[in-house]
Every structure is written in C-alpha cells, then in structure tokens.
Amino acid sequence: MSQLLPIVGPDSPEATTSLITIQKVKLKDQHLTCEFTEQRTDEAPPRAFALTCTDQVHPDLTHALSRLVPHLCLLAEQLTETSDFWPDEAEELPALFEPFTVTGFSVGRHQGGVTLIGQRQLTGGKVLNLTSPYQSFDDEQATYPYTGLLETTLQAALAEVEAALRGKGTEYRQLDLFEQPATTSALLVPTPPRA
C-alpha cells in the first residue's frame, strides 16, 4: 500500500492522506482505467473503485509502462535475451521491441506479484494480445531470473499510476469551439459575370 497526497507534485501539502492499493491498470488510447482500493485511515475499511480518467496520461506513465516491455517479451516467451536486451532508464527501447507494447497489468494480493498484459503488432497488420503468466515476487523457486528488476520497474509504474489518479496528466489547452471573427477588413473587387 502506498500513501497518496491530495495534490501531486513537489509542492503538495502533507494534509490528508489516504492509503491506496492498485489492483488493475489498463491504458487505451492514452486514457487510464484503474481498479483500486482506498482507505482514509489505517483503521477504516477499504473502499473499492474503478476509474477511467478522461484526461490523457502524462508521458511519464507511458514511459514507465514501456520499461515493462522487455519483461513481457521474456515472460510470454516472445523474444530471447540478447546482449543489448536491457536498455538504460533514459534511453528508448531498442528496435527489437518496436512491435510490442504493455497495455496494462494486474497486481497480486499485497503486491506480491504481477501479470503483464500487452500486444504485439504482427507483420500483416494484425494485433496479437499477450498475457504473461503470473510472476510472484516472493517465490524462492523462481524460474524468472529478473524478478527483482521486474518488481522495481513495476513500483515505478505504480507510482506513475498513483500520480495520474491524483491529477498528473498531459498539459493541453482546450481550443475554442467556434472561430472568432477576424477584425481585419478585406477589400472586395466586383468582377463582371461571365456567360
């Protein structure tokens, strides 16, 4: 469980906090859909919510989800690991990951594991939906060698989802519905009709 503040950002007040546990995350057309529980205090019972944000997500959230792509590829056995498989945090994903996207994830009870959900764009233009097997973070007999890295990457994605739930989104400006008439005048020159 993570604590959320009422306002996102470095100047957020330490006023009222709530405990939130994210269960499912889905990103479609740059809009976040999330299932989570919230507790106002430690003693209060959790309340369940399903929320779809109408604002477009911040690029930090899409970047955090893109960091899960190598894990999806390995867990779903779509690619094999190569020497340049793991990109640095700041750099873009290598070209071999271009057909893949992570569109969401499901977190296990007490954030003890995760199931990644994504897509692969096939060469014929069709989309293959991918779901990784559930990967436990506490499994001592883990067959996935990058469980610790997956957990760290997931925590970064969860932090961005929490920020999005508190209002972090893309900066955009609403355009006017109707154009305002121009104040400049135009000189009209009559032309004779042609037959």
pLDDT at 88: 75
pLDDT at 8: 44
In a domain, 34, yes or no: yes
Domain range holding 156? 2-165
**Count of structural domains, the chain:** 1
In a domain, 186, yes or no: no
In a domain, 174, yes or no: no
In a domain, 177, yes or no: no
pLDDT at 184: 54
pLDDT at 80: 86
pLDDT at 140: 72
pLDDT at 1: 47
In a domain, 72, yes or no: yes
- What beta strand segments (E) does the chain contain? 2-4, 18-28, 31-39, 47-52, 100-107, 113-121, 127-131, 135-136
- Mean pLDDT per 10-residue segment, the chain (195 residues): 49 61 92 87 86 86 92 91 75 85 91 91 93 87 84 92 79 59 58 66
Rounded Cα distance between 63 and 159, Å, is 12
pLDDT at 158: 92
